[in-house]
Chain A
Amino acid sequence: MTTPSLKKYIAGFSLSALLTLAAASLAWAHLQAESQLLNPEVLQAVFVTLALAQLVVQLIFFLHIGKGKSSHWNTVALIFALIIVTILVGGTLWIMNNLEHNLPQIFMNDVVTPENQLE
């Protein structure tokens, strides 16, 4: 393992806290705003970017990815896991959205209510 250092932990914590607060204040501004501040797609993209940035920060500063002798295989396992995660989540959304798209309106998740559900 690599030698942990105080500087790294402080840097990791500050960056993570900053990214969290940035995302939260953006969401807060969005909730408070009378009209839409940013359109939802842009806001989603910003949130995902901030989350990914924080993932990288924590992998580097807290989990010490990319340092040490055996770390090569840790990184390989991580990349493999990320590929599986992408296939799993991406594939699920693709298939389910496609199904929803091809179903009559009544079956769509967001319009099923106690009143209009099928017996």
Chain B
Amino acid sequence: MTEHPREHLDERVSFGFWVYLMSDCVLFAALFATYAVLNTATFGGPGARELFSLPFVTIETLILLGSSFTCGLTLLAAHQHKKNLTLLALVATLALGAGFLAMEVVEFQNLIAEGYGPSANAFLSSFFTLVGTHGLHIVIGLLWALVILAHIALRGLTPGTARKLLVWGLFWHFLDVIWIFIFTFVYLFGFI
């Protein structure tokens, strides 16, 4: 605390948030386990292989990965005290995140329109719960980023706004990590 009180605070805050992220991991683990058990329970309907499109989810995955990258650039620019660059990278992250979310909404809408909504069978219930929970996290992450964007635009890159950005960055990278496993266990495994 004596030498670098600010860095010390940064580390404490990000460690606290890290512990939350780890508990969120456990939440997702429960949803993954549910999906793993129920993914064959299609009640006579089509399974993952028939319902999902590989090129679609691959593009979706790359968009989210791109947003994780620009999120990193945001943190980097903030670290170098370049306010405009920080804002620009944050807007890029928001745009990519919104693009990802839009694709997910389109996918959900198409499935529901074809009669394969969450109430169709146990497989789809678990699918919508797992992927929807991730989508909800993305929505929260986007709203959070908007608030931080406003903070930085109005107050500049203060230690306070930089710390907010740091914590949000952890959250956003974490969502990308969760998505890798959704991509693998829900989509890729579905195509086997």
B22 A81 Cβ-Cβ under 8 A: yes
B43 A112 Cβ-Cβ under 8 A: yes
The answer to whether the Cβ of B116 comes within 8 Å of any Cβ in the partner chain is no
B41 A62 Cβ-Cβ under 8 A: no
Complex: A113 Cα to B42 Cα, angstroms: 8
Q: How far is the CB of A21 from chain B (nearest CB, A)?
A: 8
B69 A44 Cβ-Cβ under 8 A: no
Residue among B22, B34, B183 with max Cβ neighbours from chain A (10 Å): B22
Categorize the interface residue count of chain B: 35 or more
A31 B191 Cβ-Cβ under 8 A: yes
| Interface SS of chain B | helix
A70 B174 Cβ-Cβ under 8 A: no
Categorize the interface residue count of chain A: 35 or more
Contact of B26 among A12, A28, A88, A112 (CB under 8 A): A88
Given that A48-B184, A85-B25, A89-B33 are contacting pairs, would A1 and B62 also be in contact in the complex, using a CB cutoff of 8 Å?
no
A73 B15 Cβ-Cβ under 8 A: yes
CB under 8 Å from chain B, chain A span 85-104: 85, 88-89, 92-93, 96
Complex: A104 Cα to B62 Cα, angstroms: 44
Q: How far is the CB of A93 from chain B (nearest CB, A)?
A: 6
A68 B11 Cβ-Cβ under 8 A: yes
The interface residues of chain A lying within 8 Å CB-to-CB of B10 are 1
Complex: A109 Cα to B121 Cα, angstroms: 11
Q: How far is the CB of A17 from chain B (nearest CB, A)?
A: 6
In the complex, number of A-B residue pairs with CB atoms less than 8 Å apart: 148
Q: How far is the CB of B138 from chain A (nearest CB, A)?
A: 16
Complex: A68 Cα to B122 Cα, angstroms: 45
A-side interface residues toward B, CB under 8 Å? 1, 3-6, 8-10, 12-13, 16-17, 20-21, 23-24, 27-28, 30-31, 40, 43-44, 47-48, 50-51, 54-55, 58-59, 62-63, 68-70, 73-74, 77-78, 80-82, 84-85, 88-89, 92-93, 96, 109-110, 112-115, 117
**New A-B contacts (10) at CB < 8 Å, excluding given A4-B79, A58-B176, A82-B25:** A12-B69, A13-B65, A28-B55, A59-B177, A63-B174, A81-B23, A84-B29, A88-B26, A93-B33, A114-B44
Closest 7 CB pairs of A and B: A113-B44, A81-B22, A92-B33, A9-B72, A109-B41, A13-B69, A51-B184
A and B contact pairs by CB, cutoff 8 A, 28 listed:
A1-B10, A6-B76, A9-B73, A20-B62, A23-B183, A27-B191, A28-B55, A30-B191, A30-B192, A31-B191, A48-B184, A51-B180, A51-B183, A55-B177, A55-B180, A58-B68, A58-B177, A59-B177, A63-B173, A74-B15, A84-B25, A88-B30, A88-B33, A92-B37, A109-B38, A113-B43, A114-B43, A115-B44
